[in-house]
């Protein structure tokens, strides 16, 4: 495994890899969710590049950039054990010049859900992913459904800017009690960690109601809100049922829907989601392959 923090060196090393090359963008502090993306890339591609970069522009000034968990040594060990070919771990200055002023802005999709309270988040995500696509030139890129809105934003960007990259989406990897794996789970105290399964429980409830024929989005939403409010340590940010393609709120679940929620447990904000009908892929058709 070769590791570099420099764009020019990455480009040189990348040019020696045989296609198809898979890219797995991450912010490090790796867990099984990240490693599942790596394995999928390795199964589908001749070479796998992983980026480790805590992207400052996707954090608002009030968010956890400086405290975001980091353990580069452990990350490198896990990637080496996984058999990754190339790791790109740049410093912020390598990705963003002092006078950086170019942004990739996905408009409507990025203003929904997470974007409502984090207005600059997806601009930061789309910009860094576009830069990584230009630097690594992967044929495929691997993202987790855990961040479903991110998947839709990147899919839109790939189509709108004609990136020759196929977007591949992996299922959310969960702890045995249903909690979606996340680097941010390390912020939870033992009591808070015990409360965290409430997100998956409320999504299970939505799936059950849908299986029983429930199609009234407001009724399902209400049931989910009650489930979350029953957990004393949880403070609901939003529960939303939207068209899975446009992220427009829907009243009747008469098409593929995305149920998403954000919940604060103590000072940690957790997100999770499920697609209805259960088991349907988030993206249909996927992004165009090169």
Catalytic annotation, residues: 34
Instruction: Answer yes or no whether residue 193 interacts with ligand AMP by CB under 6 A.
Output: no
Q: How far apart are CA 57 and CA 65, in angstroms?
A: 9
Q: Token pair for residue 245?
A: 């393609």
Binding residue count for ligand AMP, defined by CB under 6 A: 17
Site string for ligand AMP, 141-180 (x = CB under 6 A): --xx-xx----------------------x-xx------x
* CA 7 from centroid of its chain's CA atoms: 23
The least distance separating ligand AMP from the CB of residue 105, rounded to whole angstroms, comes to 19
Q: Which is nearer to ligand AMP, 137 or 147 (CB)?
A: 147
Quote the strand ranges of the chain, DSSP E.
2-4, 21-26, 47-52, 86-88, 140-144, 166-170, 234-243, 257-265, 268-276
Q: Which stretch binds ligand AMP (CB under 6 A): 5-13, 28-36, 75-83, 208-216?
A: 28-36
Is 183 near ligand AMP (CB under 6 A)? yes
Choose between 29 and 209: whose C-beta lies nearer to ligand AMP: 29
Point out which residues pair with 143 in neighbouring strands: 169
Contact 248, 258 (CB under 8 A): no
Residues paired with residue 169 on neighbouring β-strands, in sequence order:
143
The dihedrals phi and psi of 174, each to the nearest 5 degrees, come to: -120, 155
Q: Copy the structure tokens of residue 3.
A: 């590791």
**37 binds ligand AMP, rule: CB under 6 A:** yes
260 lies in the binding site for ligand AMP (CB under 6 A): no
> In angstroms, what is the minimal distance from the CB of 77 to ligand AMP?
17
Q: Is 152 or 195 the residue whose CB approaches ligand AMP more closely?
A: 152
112: contact with ligand AMP by CB under 6 A: no
Q: Phi-psi region for residue 201, left (φ > 0), alpha (ψ -120 to 50) or beta?
A: alpha
- Choose one: 27-35, 59-67, 129-137, 251-259; the region binding ligand AMP (CB under 6 A): 27-35
Distance of alpha carbon 239 from alpha carbon 161, whole angstroms: 31
Name the residues that contact ligand AMP, by CB under 6 A: 26-27, 33-34, 36-37, 143-144, 146-147, 170, 172-173, 180-183
């Amino acid at each position: 495994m070769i590791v570099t923090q420099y764009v020019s060196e990455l480009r040189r090393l990348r040019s020696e890899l045989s296609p198809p090359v898979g890219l797995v963008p991450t912010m490090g502090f790796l867990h099984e969710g990240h490693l599942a993306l790596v394995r999928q890339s390795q199964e589908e591609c001749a070479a796998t590049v992983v980026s480790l970069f805590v992207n400052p522009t996707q954090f608002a000034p009030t968010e956890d950039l400086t405290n975001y968990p980091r353990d580069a040594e452990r990350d490198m060990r896990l990637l080496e054990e996984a058999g990754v070919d190339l790791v790109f771990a740049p410093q912020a200055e390598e990705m963003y010049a002092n006078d950086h002023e170019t942004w990739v802005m996905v408009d409507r999709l990025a203003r929904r859900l997470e974007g409502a309270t984090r207005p600059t988040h997806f601009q930061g995500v789309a910009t860094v992913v576009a830069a990584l696509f230009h630097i690594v030139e992967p044929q495929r890129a691997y993202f987790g459904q855990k961040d479903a809105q991110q998947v839709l934003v990147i899919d839109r960007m790939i189509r709108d800017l004609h990136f020759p990259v196929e977007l591949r989406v992996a299922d959310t990897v969960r702890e045995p009690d249903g909690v979606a794996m996340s680097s941010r789970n390390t912020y939870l105290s033992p009591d808070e960690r015990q409360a965290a399964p409430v997100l998956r429980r409320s999504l299970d409830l939505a799936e059950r109601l849908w299986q029983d024929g429930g199609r009234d989005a407001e009724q399902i939403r209400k049931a989910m809100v009650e489930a979350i409010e029953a957990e004393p340590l949880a403070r609901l940010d939003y529960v939303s049922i939207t068209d899975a393609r446009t992220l427009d709120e829907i009243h009747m679940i008469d098409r593929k829907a995305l149920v998403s929620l954000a919940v604060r447990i103590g000072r940690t904000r957790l997100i999770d989601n499920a697609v209805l009908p259960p088991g349907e892929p988030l993206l249909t058709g996927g992004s165009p392959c090169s």
